[in-house]
Amino acid sequence: MTSLVTSLGKPSVYKDNKYLGTDDDWEREIAASSTLYIGNLSFYTTEEQIYELFSKCGEIKRIIMGLDRFKKTPCGFCFVEYYNRQDAMDCMKFINGTKLDERIIRTDLDPGYKEGRNFGRGRSGGQVRDEHREDYDEGRGGWGARQREMEARENRQRDTYDSFTTVPKGAASSYYAGDSSYKPKRARDDEDEGPRRGKRGRDDDRNNPRFRERSATPEDE
């Protein structure tokens, strides 16, 4: 008879991306494992809180807190090892999807903790999921890592711009400073050269014979 309830002993959709074995190896180790991966924890959840909750399902062998690779502070996950596999299965049944520190936590069967797996694999040192997160999550450190980097870069640029309190001195610095003695190039040329000259070197229209003849009076003739 087909059951409508998924067996807790079946492999989870969770899988360690750094696992070196085959899919068959993974399934075989999961089927015998008494270790759980706990995800979506708050950065502020303590090991004591985790022990208090998960010990309700059986005797715990050890808890390994997930840490930021650089800061060595909790970054939202951990491993819980039980002495008996049945205790781990009971935990999957009764604790998975419940709340801890106002967060819905996720539990998955894990093939077993290996040294180094307790450090975040994200570029910033935490979990990869917090690299790309675009929402604000107070329990996971606020904004995602990339959002924080963008904000920090914008702040640095703003501080750089604000540090320029004076205009650099140059040929036209008097213009920027609002000096009334500064005059545009055309005004300076007019003062220096006198009457404007045409393209071929002639004086302006007042000295051009053609215009003088056109405007001459009978008395001039």
pLDDT in tens, the chain (221 residues): 455 555 555 556 677 878 888 989 988 999 999 999 999 999 999 999 999 999 999 999 999 999 999 999 999 999 999 999 999 999 999 999 999 999 999 999 999 999 999 998 888 888 877 887 777 878 787 775 566 566 556 666 666 666 766 656 655 555 555 555 555 566 555 565 555 555 555 555 556 666 555 555 555 54
Query: Is 78 a member of any domain?
Result: yes
CATH number at residue 29: 3.30.70.330
Residue given tokens 């050890």 in the structure block: 62
Q: Are strands 35-39 and 60-67 parallel, antiparallel or unpaired?
A: unpaired
pTM metric for this prediction: 0.60
Query: Is 160 a member of any domain?
Result: no
Domain that holds residue 42: 23-140
Q: How far apart are CA 76 and CA 144, in angstroms?
A: 13
Strands of the sheet containing 60-67, edge to edge, are 60-67, 74-82, 35-39, 106-110
The domain tally of the chain equals 1
